[in-house]
Structure 1
Amino acid sequence: MHRVRPATAADIPAVRTLVLARSAWLEERRMPSWRESADDVAGQAENTDGTMWLLTEETSGRIIGCTTIQQETPPWGWTERELAEPADYLYTTVTDPADRAHRPGTLLALWAVDRAARQGRAWVRRGCMFPGLVRYYETQGFSLIHEVQRTHNHVYLMGRKAEELPDLPVQTQPGADRHSDLPPAAGQRPAARQ
């Protein structure tokens, strides 16, 4: 079992270490890495435009992945109708390559799909710039919706309908969803309001 919790400023060093580990793995395979933006990615732990969520080992609390969720889809590349639909937007998902056997990227994506449904959101969306990531996200149930040429990048915009996934082996840390009215998981009591 894994847990997901919001990141805080105290997590910035651990997130930076995670980003550098993933960067080394990507560079060994001659793929573009996050190395030059490691500090920016880690800084999302205290992001005010979205919430970075951390996937952790249940017993040790060690961070094995992160993703940032924004409750607004970026306006470029989507139709007005799509922008009017309630959706969460995932970006900057990074996972520890040493934990590939647990499929942390898939766990985070499926957790986000379940969370979005429980919050009454219709979709989870994301974008990427590499066809290999499109294929990987398709294994998580995302579909390619649009391709957009930006100034310097070709961007693949993807989406998946939000749905509850009750058998997901990931729990949100009790009281952790401070930005929503997400009901507590079965057997948990709601967090006290301050």
Structure 2
Amino acid sequence: MRPTTSTDQDAVAAMILARCEWMERNGLPSWRPSVDDLAGQCGNPFGDVWVMEMNGSRIVGRTTIQQEGPPWGWTDTERAEPALYLNTTVTDPAYRHMRLGTLIAWWAVDQAAGQGVQWVRRDCLWPQLATYYASQGFSLVRTAENGKYTHHMLARRAEPMDLAEQFRTGMLEPLDVGR
């Protein structure tokens, strides 16, 4: 994982488009309307957009990690607690058997622990995605309405994550990809 630079924009856009095609083939809502915006965030001055590289060159994932979450989804008490907010995580479907989304989430959990932050929080629109995030150790805190959308607000306590150990012990086994 590393922060993005403006030179990553084309590779990030290509990776997101590959995910869009996979989502559309599988009847899932697509990121397609957001591709230019998400790729355009590469190299922003805040340094909050990160990419996962494979073999030091191929971008296979991207995410945003921020210090503040949406004010409409969390209580004043929750917002006062140190937390990292993980959002807009997209991975290359060609490598989904490697559980890249889980790796990115667990990397964020480890980063939060290393920074002395108590929580990693995230939200999503779809119940199926909330279930997937639960498989990464996140718990549903509540649903929150914002405009015409219902958001699933999830959180996980920060903790050190030895990702190499997770693979070694089989806690993060590659998926048997069926579709």
Q: 2:14 aligns with which of 11, 17, 20?
A: 17
CA distance in 2, matches of 1:147, 1:90: 17
Gaps of 5+ in 1: 171-194
Residues 18-57 of structure 1 aligned to structure 2 (within 5 Å):
18-49=15-46, 51-57=48-54
How much has 1:48 moved relative to structure 2?
Answer: 4.0
Match of 1:74 in 2: 70
How much has 1:49 moved relative to structure 2?
Answer: 5.0
CA distance in 2, matches of 1:46, 1:168: 27
Match of 1:168 in 2: 163
What fraction of aligned residue pairs are identical, expressed as a percent?
52
How much has 1:135 moved relative to structure 2?
Answer: 0.5
Q: Which amino acid letter does the alignment assign opposite residue 94 of structure 1?
A: V
Provide, for residues 64-103 of structure 1, a one-character-per-residue CA deviation record: whole Å limited to 9, x for no partner: 1111001112211211110000000011000000001111
SS where residue 69 of structure 2 aligns?
A: coil
Q: Which amino acid letter does the alignment assign opposite residue 164 of structure 2?
A: P
1:145 aligns with 2:141: yes
SS where residue 136 of structure 1 aligns?
A: helix
CA distance in 1, matches of 2:47, 2:64: 6
Match of 2:175 in 1: none
How much has 1:50 moved relative to structure 2?
Answer: 5.6
Task: Give the aligned CA root-mean-square deviation in angstroms.
Answer: 1.4
Q: What's the TM-score, normalizing by structure 1?
A: 0.82
Gaps of 5+ in 2: 166-179
Match of 1:133 in 2: 129
CA distance in 1, matches of 2:17, 2:164: 26
Count of equivalent residues: 165
How much has 1:35 moved relative to structure 2?
Answer: 0.9
SS where residue 160 of structure 2 aligns?
A: coil
Task: Kindly indicate whether the alpha-carbon contact (under 8 Å) linking 2:72 and 2:146 is maintained by their aligned counterparts in 1.
Answer: no
1:6 aligns with 2:16: no
CA distance in 2, matches of 1:84, 1:140: 24
Q: Which amino acid letter does the alignment assign opposite residue 156 of structure 2?
A: R
Task: Kindly indicate whether the alpha-carbon contact (under 8 Å) linking 1:44 and 1:68 is maintained by their aligned counterparts in 2.
Answer: no
CA distance in 2, matches of 1:28, 1:73: 31
Q: Which amino acid letter does the alignment assign opposite residue 92 of structure 1?
A: T
Q: Which structure has greater helix proportion? A: 2
Structure 1 pair 50/147, CA: closer, same or farther in 2 (3 Å)? Answer: farther
